[in-house]
Amino acid sequence: MSDTLTTPSRRQPAESPGAPGAQPEAAMRPPVDVVEDASGITLYADLPGVPKDQVQVRVETDALTIEGEIRLSLPEGMDASHIELPTPRFRRTFTLSKELDTERVSAECQNGVLRLRIPKAEHAQPRRIEVRVA
């Protein structure tokens, strides 16, 4: 699996591919940790302040995309005098290996962390070969 974006940095703005000739929509790249084990990979994306209903996860052929919008609410009658979020949108795209089973991706979001589990395909699972006496 490879990140299709340049070397990641925390909360760095990224450009979104839009319609040909259109201005790309700016989006932040959330930090993501990827852990691999014998049965698949797990991605942990930091999405503080993002409600579950504002997170979209898509798999198209060999690309995994995480995107959504951060909703920050201010008390009524108050305006922000300084905002460090360059854009309320976020997006991260990864190219997935053919060894992963994209039909069985699972996702859960808890305490601002999105957890995606992508198991390895059956043909990529480790298997034991029986050695027989000839």
Q: For 13-69, how does the pLDDT look when each residue is reduced to its tens digit (9 = 90+)?
A: 444 444 455 555 788 899 999 999 989 999 999 988 788 888 999 999 889 999 988
d(CA 112, CA 55): 11
Domains of the chain: 29-73+85-124 (2.60.40.790)
What are the beta bridge partners of residue 45? 32, 114
pLDDT at position 2 is 53
Which pair of structure tokens corresponds to residue 116? Answer: 């995606």
First to last CA, the chain: 41
Instruction: Find out whether 28 and 11 touch, Cβ atoms under 8 Å.
Output: yes
Which of 58-62, 79-83, 113-117 shows the highest mean pLDDT? 113-117
d(CA 118, CA 29): 20
Residue range 116-130: mean pLDDT, rounded: 85
d(CA 110, CA 112): 6
Contacts of 61 (CB under 8 A, 6+ apart): none
Instruction: Find out whether 21 and 39 touch, Cβ atoms under 8 Å.
Output: no
Backbone angles phi, psi at 88, to 5 degrees: -80, -5
Residue 81 binned pLDDT confidence (cut-offs 50, 70, 90)? confident
Secondary structure class of 126 (helix, strand, coil): coil
